[in-house]
Chain A
């Protein structure tokens, strides 16, 4: 994160026997205008599809007011309609346009994904890196909390937190998801840093007089970039799913439109009994599509950390 140019990607595959190849690889890399990491992601077919999908979602979220024909809360239409020319996906029991809600819902999901994903990645890094690097007593204490976070049943805890919190709103949802979702990432990062901290270049940095904090941020973190990225992706993924789940259970923020609240409304509004399949299927399908795009991108991130996968 601190070194955009210095990710492991930039270093060529150390292909043991063939010294010249690595240098040639860098020469070839220079012919692309894009940064190295993007070229590698883009080359992977699955990853390219994922990136395109995600880009489409981001575009829709940003341009929601221009894309959606109506506001998400405008309930001036006939209630519980099936898909028509005016309302492509029908209307809700309150008379809102389902299609417009889907478009605006992208904002909520992406926002929760990015913010909660970033927060839990940061916590996971802080805890995991500190515990793994320092080891000893600090590690014992931090690992205790990590293990606690891992064994606590997440869904009931989330439900409890969300249900009894004195304030409601998207912020609360993000906090709840972050608090319950950082432990797994911390465990993985701790394991990785334990293998990295004994590398000679870390010892060399100590001999060069660098402080512990600097060693972690400048020497070790760049070498686990792909792990951090994968961690962020799966946290974001989990956050999007958790938000939808909480919202579906009616624990979401009633003021915001999200795909989860839509599913909740559809269930309460008797969409299945009135035969409004579009009201139920659309948010579920679009949610699955977003999750799929993240998963597809992760295929490409694997290739970032493992040069061998890039040859396929």
Chain B
């Protein structure tokens, strides 16, 4: 019962300016009717390229350079656009990460449904009741029928993504490609959409190819999981089997980055390094340079994708012991992965908990006023918040988007002024600083940005970015600043520094860029560091590396850190103290293990329930859902609110 069959598919990028890159290399797989298949891998492994190829959406300079794609018995590899058009959306539909932005801003949601139905009268029927059909679908994705009358800008990101999902299902397709459909959305919203999606898929019976770098989610959702590395499928197993024991060392590394933050000891393993450059030929196994268990033969012999257990794997070691029993079971990540970052229950060897606070926030409130057609609305972003930061300690501020955590970061660093309350740094009132004095304050308080891709100017070299704070805040001259910049790069683990000084951000990987961003924040030797979701945009495999670096800096330099995140696992790994922020109010606070282990507030519990736990029944999560009975209510923005 195969619906989609892909055989020996290769996709090559041939940009004019550089060598051709084989992004997808002889990939073969099938998707059965109604099957939910996950496709995993870190960014740059070719998963999205593969997805686009299957839908025949590749654009120059990428093209299919070999193999076939058969959909429902029909070879679609070389079909022309005219032949593809009637198939699209009726047979194959898709939701991308950016689908929420694909809604037409000038027409209502109802009209978008009407357009789609009208474009395929043969499937939808000539006289279809748009309101009935679309309303039904919106209810399926837990949206109110009233959304039909709204324009896209009146909906939140999560609601728009749900509309996009409903729109993808309107013609009852038999195959849906989901390419990171919830990445970038809020954790709780993400959880909700995925739960709905799984139910829908079971009841409507369409097949899904689900692309994600978020292994926890994929493992939990899919029937079968394929792992992709460097353009090849390296492992393909039923999800349950993969959770029980991964065959390929790469999958072991990926799974190592998950842990339950409530455990007494949390170990997070990561696989250092980056995927290989695919424009060159590699004789051996592509994963060999990063593999913790490689043997000599791996360097010279390229492994084939061979049957192993109930799936397939591409690894010489698995070939030796095809049942995988020789290596995978009972091996903790500590044994096989290069590096482990761990946090146990004991107090950390850091600054004293009752030390003299360096930064004190007292009763801070911030309201925003938005102009509306008639009058204005006020939104309270932060409501009567107080906390203190102490040298050598990390305080985590946890909350979903819109909870006011970024506003607090802006207040603490002096970017905005609070409406009420005070922020004191030593003896300075930060909330009263103006221009020049504010510049002086920033010598002591620096910010690490969320998105390393926008935090560095694409036209400026690393050396320039690092030299600015050195010259402005520390009064160094050009040569001194360059020497110091090199030292900073070494501190954040970019060595040899000389290799990186004259690079442009475009030449660095995401993890390397975030290290440069951290180095820049460290340049003026600040005493307070605000890290605003520093790892959320990074690949799972490099998150632990950055956390370890931040931990090291706090220990070595006695920096007081405010760590802002929506991710309780990273808070557990890094922070001494956790504050949970909900709608601008701190609802729970205390030592990390206490807050996470014995969460009291329903909101904190819901955040905990949203963390994927591959291989475990999500009983607590379901409980979390029923606790927040008004959940969908609270997620969807009121139509005229904000």
Contact = CB atoms under 8 A, between A and B. Distances in A.
Most A CB within 10 A of own CB, among B19, B46, B523:
B19
B633 interface: no
B442 A207 contact: yes
B472 interface: yes
Given A8-B458, A204-B449, A219-B457, A311 B468 contact: no
Nearest to A198: B454
Given A11-B459, A25-B15, A209-B469, A200 B451 contact: yes
A36 B7 CA distance: 40
A283 interface: no
Contacts of B443: 209
B61 to A, nearest CB: 5
Interface in B448-480: 449-451, 453-461, 465, 468-469, 472-473
Interface residues of B, number: 57
A7 interface: yes
Interface stretch (B202-210, B218-226, B274-282, B373-381): B274-282
Interface in B18-46: 18-19, 21, 23, 43-44, 46
Given A208-B469, A209-B468, A28 B18 contact: yes
Nearest to B467: A208
Interface string A8-42: 10111111111111111111110000000000000
Given A10-B459, A17-B49, A22-B506, A207 B274 contact: no
B132 interface: no
B498 interface: no
Contacts of B278: 20
Nearest to A13: B15
A16 B48 CA distance: 10
B506 A11 contact: yes
Most A CB within 10 A of own CB, among B275, B450, B457, B510:
B457
Given A11-B505, A12-B507, A22-B506, A207 B18 contact: no
Contacts of A16: 48
Nearest to A221: B459
B468 to A, nearest CB: 4
Contacts of A219: 457, 460
B468 A210 contact: yes
Contacts of B460: 6, 201, 218-219, 222
A144 to B, nearest CB: 21
Interface string B258-276: 0000000000000000111
Contacts of B459: 3, 6-8, 10-11, 222-223
A310 interface: yes
Most A CB within 10 A of own CB, among B275, B468, B523:
B468
Most A CB within 10 A of own CB, among B15, B19, B454:
B15
A223 B458 contact: yes
Interface string A296-312: 00000000000000111
B229 interface: no
Contact of B13 (A3, A21, A205): A21
Interface residues of A, number: 43
Nearest to A219: B457
Contacts of A3: 459
B369 interface: no
B244 interface: no
B477 to A, nearest CB: 15
B140 to A, nearest CB: 31
B447 interface: yes
Contact of A10 (B274, B447, B504): B504
Most B CB within 10 A of own CB, among A13, A22, A222:
A22
B60 interface: yes
Contact of B21 (A11, A21, A311): A21
Contacts of A218: 460
Interface of A: 3, 6-8, 10-29, 43, 199-201, 203-210, 218-219, 222-223, 310-312
Given A20-B279, A25-B18, 20 more contacts: A6-B460, A11-B459, A13-B15, A15-B13, A16-B48, A18-B49, A19-B274, A19-B510, A20-B44, A20-B276, A20-B277, A24-B18, A25-B17, A26-B507, A201-B457, A203-B449, A209-B468, A223-B459, A310-B17, A311-B61
19 contacts: A7-B459, A8-B459, A10-B504, A14-B453, A14-B506, A18-B21, A19-B274, A19-B509, A20-B276, A22-B507, A23-B507, A24-B18, A28-B19, A203-B415, A207-B447, A209-B442, A209-B473, A223-B457, A310-B17
